[in-house]
Amino acid sequence: MASVKVKPRRRLSLDNPPNMSRETPLRMLVFGDSSQDQISLTRSVLGQDVFTRDEVNISATKKNSGVVQERNITLVNAPNLQDNDLPDSILHKELRKAVCFSCPGPHAVVFVVDPFHLTSNTMDILKPMVHYFGECVLKHTLIVLYHERGMRTQSIEDEVKKNKSFRELAEKCSQNYIFFNGEVNWTEGSQTQALLTKVDKMVREHGMFSNMEFKDAEKRIQIEERFIKKSKEKEIRETSKALENQHSGEALASEILRYEEKIQSECREKAELVVADKLGFTVRLVDYAVAVGKGAFVGALLGFAVGYEGMAVGAAVGAGLGAALGGAANAAWSYIYKSFTDAH
């Protein structure tokens, strides 16, 4: 997972959304109608080529971070579903990684499209994401119409608005869309500024996107972080002692802070990977509410064979079983969590 630091571009005035300081990383989960669009937007926003020349197809979830216009920005690119025919098992694994990499939740889900190639199939690309995260994700979705053509944005916008597929897509996403000229952005940074302003506005209106899966993943990541950091205690003590021997005063404080941030980042990234590999249907049963929902769903499927009435009965029985399993597992998880935090 690459991390780049970008020289801040000239920044226009920008109001911070409630509960979001400039130190809080702005997280965006990125999907697109092509890998190239996702790569181009990521490069343009972060200001550096964080993809190698060989990376022309995003087939696995990738996280990149940078400091842009005095803000900490994290872009999590999910696999491009148009360029890759991924088996469901692989797709779900990559989406779980996307969840962990953007925990405790993305401030926006960005859907990158080419304004010159909007078709009736454009909306279909979003369907797996909506199926996985639920319909509520759409109000947190920002359509970014990315291009690098030297045309006036207004003329492009007028043309795109005539496109029926785009109008339907924009309606699904609460009219949250923005045109992004990559060519202009490399010289001015104005397009990134407009993107961040739009995301901030969406956060003020709806908050960041989260659900039980994000919350459960975040709890697990924090616990995993503690285990990883504990395993590094000897290394941390030795490095801290070495820094104390080499520096003093403000220089020492600065070096200690830099080292602590490095350790924190490394532990977090490793914890995200560990938890992403563990997350799955059975793991999500530890949450009571999710257990009820899954139990009802499975019960309904079992009852489907005997008709509509069977589905209703199956859902009720499944919900009860899910609640019992979820309650027991959740109690056990809480005990483990409490025992660990008390011990450390």
> Residue 118 has what pLDDT?
87
> Residue 320 has what pLDDT?
52
Peptide bond into 128 cis (omega under 30): no
pLDDT of 6 above 80: no
> Residue 124 has what pLDDT?
83
Q: What is the DSSP letter of 279?
A: -
Instruction: Using pLDDT thresholds of 50, 70 and 90, give the confidence band for residue 20.
Output: low
The average confidence (pLDDT) of the chain is 79
Please spell the DSSP secondary structure of 106-169, one letter per residue: -SEEEEEE-TT---TTHHHHHHHHHHHH-GGGGGGEEEEEEE---S-HHHHHHHHTT-HHHHHH
Query: Using one digit for the tens of pLDDT, what is the confidence trace for 306-338?
Result: 443 443 444 444 445 444 544 554 444 444 444
- Per the model's pLDDT, the better-predicted residue between 316 and 70 turns out to be 70
pTM beyond 0.85: the answer is: no
Query: Using one digit for the tens of pLDDT, what is the confidence trace for 177-196?
Result: 999 999 889 888 899 999 99
pLDDT of 262 above 90: yes
Q: Are 196 and 71 in contact (CB under 8 A)?
A: yes
The CATH number assigned to the domain with range 26-206 reads: 3.40.50.300
CA-CA distance, 76 to 79, in Å (whole number)? Answer: 10
Q: Where are the domains of the chain?
A: 26-206, 212-294
Q: Are 62 and 1 in contact (CB under 8 A)?
A: yes
Place of tokens 């490793």: 270
> Residue 321 has what pLDDT?
47
Residues of the chain above pLDDT 70, percent: 73
Phi, psi (rounded to 5 degrees) for 147: -155, 165
